[in-house]
Structure 1
Amino acid sequence: MFLPKIKKVLLLSGVFLILASCSEYQKVLKEAEPGEKYAMAEKLYTEALEEDSNSKFRKAIRLFEQIVPQYRGKPQGEKVTFLFADSYYHVGDNYLAGYQFERFVQAYPNSDRVEEAQFKSAKSYYYLSPRYDLDQTETVKAVAELQKYIDAYPNGEYLEEANNLAADLRVKLEKKAFEIAKQYHKIGDFGVRGENYKAAIVAFTNFINEYPGSPFREAAFYYRFDAAYQYAINSYEYLMKERLNTAREYYNNYKRFYSEGDEHFDAIQASFNDLESRLQNL
């Protein structure tokens, strides 16, 4: 009988403490002077870091929102602005975290924490990057921000991670460009005779020139050849010889870089053998 009573008392005590804490927070939020708000915001931020508590970060954010403008230009302004941005970063509000860290870097370029702020700003934009098949405006911005950090801090604390993140985003941009070119190849002869294959050849040529180190490069060489081959064999007979010879050049380009062990070698070789047979018959 005694133990349940103790548990009940402890539970009620905990409830009262939570209610009192909430009441104190609401009072400071609505009525306190900037100094009190600053003290509570910093306390909540510190506790949130220790406890990994999103709710405390969000409480701190509400206080920081009120006091950041009032501390701008004052000695505490640098710290308040950084903690404000970092609170957004920890709750995963990547748009506002990136924006607030950018503002911090602009306002306090000589701060001891400017490198961290610049990296976290770039990383926040990294997290805003969508799937490769969607609009890549955010991805382009994230790459630019990461590159800005890499250029500014060639020996920086976060250099390796920044390089890895930038490389990941570049592959996403490459995949987007590759899939656009591949789409022209896929729809092939639909529409105006051969025009989609012609567009695919141009798109894959641009891709090869623009992304020399891409993991999709071998496939791009293959699909460029195949687009030229399909374009040729679906042509009027009087155009076929010239177009088959162009496809042969793309085959030679593929062979210059890729050997029998590569992914598309068997397919390209079969098409090339047919191409040679057609040229002999012509």
Structure 2
Amino acid sequence: MAGHKSRAWEAKSRIPAGGGKYPPADFPAFSLPLLSMNKWFFILSLLALLVGTACSPEYRQYSQWSRKGSISEKDSAAFYFYERGDYEKAALLFEDLRGAYRGTDRARKLQYHYAYAKYNFGLYVVAAYYFEEYTRLYPNDALAPECYFMVGYCYYLEAAPYYLDQTFTNKAITQMQLFINNYPTHDKVEEANKVITELRERLAQKEFETANLYYKIENFKAAVTSFEVMLQEYPDSRYREEAMYLLFRSAVSLADVSTERRKRNRYLDAVEYYERFVDAFPGSVFLKDAEAAYVKAKRNLGRILAGQADS
């Protein structure tokens, strides 16, 4: 069966969606001298099988139909290639047949398999378009919820690592949430929630790393703002503990370098951030360092308050 290399940004566990076949995993890289005789036999047998299939009278017949056949023959050829994993040929035939079957019940079946052919070929964004088109054309069909889910899942597979553009990450989250809202009892809701959780964590990491970068380059005002936004938008993130700690440290550093007019309020903010951090994570690995910075901040704040009382 001919597969196609996945173009997803990261290796992910596939969620079975039904109706389609996932591309087989790529063969791992190997060193020729280390292959055993059994492995060589397997590889040669597989090659012989593939060559034999391509040269079979059946395969030649369907290939001929795909080029010069009638509508019915091209239809048969399309599903022949689809079932054997030749999704590129199948997709070309499905595309050719879509116009011929427009407005018929057969068009519905072709649309469904056409979307899966694109999906199994690794063209996830294109597949998402045709899955979404299915939901628009056949909103009350029994397969519409599955196609709704697959739109989000295709975007999920196309989503980039946290340090790159997150357009498809956000699209996947939006689509999965719409799927859950529209089909709350569907058996794919649990998988959809898992996808949302994973992708939200990716967005949280992006926000965290951005804020952390501001902290490292000593842009403390931007760091405070960024950590605040990150914690507000992703309160359940696994980065929450470190983010709260670095928010406090950023606030202390910002107060240290502030003008005298702003020091008082900014030290007060830092003290409040520390108290929130300790309440949330009393056993934190960052607690010792936080306490040292807190003592210093309280001492500086005390001097400022004492000076204001004397004036």
In the superposition, the TM-score normalised over structure 1's length comes to 0.83
Aligned to 1:7: none
Considering Cα pairs closer than 8 Å and 6+ residues apart, tell me whether 1 or 2 has the greater RCO: 2
Judged with a 3 Å threshold, the aligned counterparts in structure 2 of structure 1 residues 58 and 256 are, in CA distance, closer, same or farther, namely same
Aligned to 2:294: 272
Match of 1:28 among 44, 61, 65: 65
**Pair 1:171-2:201 in alignment:** yes
Aligned to 2:254: 231
**Pair 1:118-2:148 in alignment:** yes
**Pair 1:187-2:217 in alignment:** yes
Deviation larger for 89-98 or 101-110: 89-98
Q: Could you say which structure has the larger radius of gyration? A: 1
Judged with a 3 Å threshold, the aligned counterparts in structure 2 of structure 1 residues 238 and 143 are, in CA distance, closer, same or farther, namely closer
Once the two structures are TM-superposed, the CA of residue 237 in structure 1 deviates from its matched residue by 5.2
Kindly report which structure 2 residues correspond to 1:1-282, keeping only aligned pairs within 5 A, or say none.
15=52, 18=55, 20-21=57-58, 23-46=60-83, 48=84, 53=85, 56-188=86-218, 196-236=219-259, 239-259=262-282, 261-282=283-304
Q: For residues 54 and 153 of structure 2, what CA distance do their matches in structure 1 show? A: 38
Once the two structures are TM-superposed, the CA of residue 38 in structure 1 deviates from its matched residue by 0.7
Q: Which one has a larger percent helix, Structure 1 or Structure 2?
A: 1
Once the two structures are TM-superposed, the CA of residue 16 in structure 1 deviates from its matched residue by 9.1
1:52-81 Cα shifts (integer Å, max 9, x gaps): x3xx22221121111112212112111111
Once the two structures are TM-superposed, the CA of residue 271 in structure 1 deviates from its matched residue by 0.8
Aligned length, in residue pairs: 256
Deviation larger for 24-33 or 59-68: 24-33
Structure 2: tracts of 5 or more residues without a match: 1-47, 305-311
Judged with a 3 Å threshold, the aligned counterparts in structure 2 of structure 1 residues 121 and 242 are, in CA distance, closer, same or farther, namely closer
Q: For residues 264 and 87 of structure 1, what CA distance do their matches in structure 2 show? A: 51
- Give the match's secondary structure for 2:99: helix
Judged with a 3 Å threshold, the aligned counterparts in structure 2 of structure 1 residues 16 and 94 are, in CA distance, closer, same or farther, namely closer
Percent identical residues: 31
Structure 1: tracts of 5 or more residues without a match: 1-10, 189-195
Q: Give the conservation status (yes or no) of the 8 Å contact 2:208–2:227.
A: yes
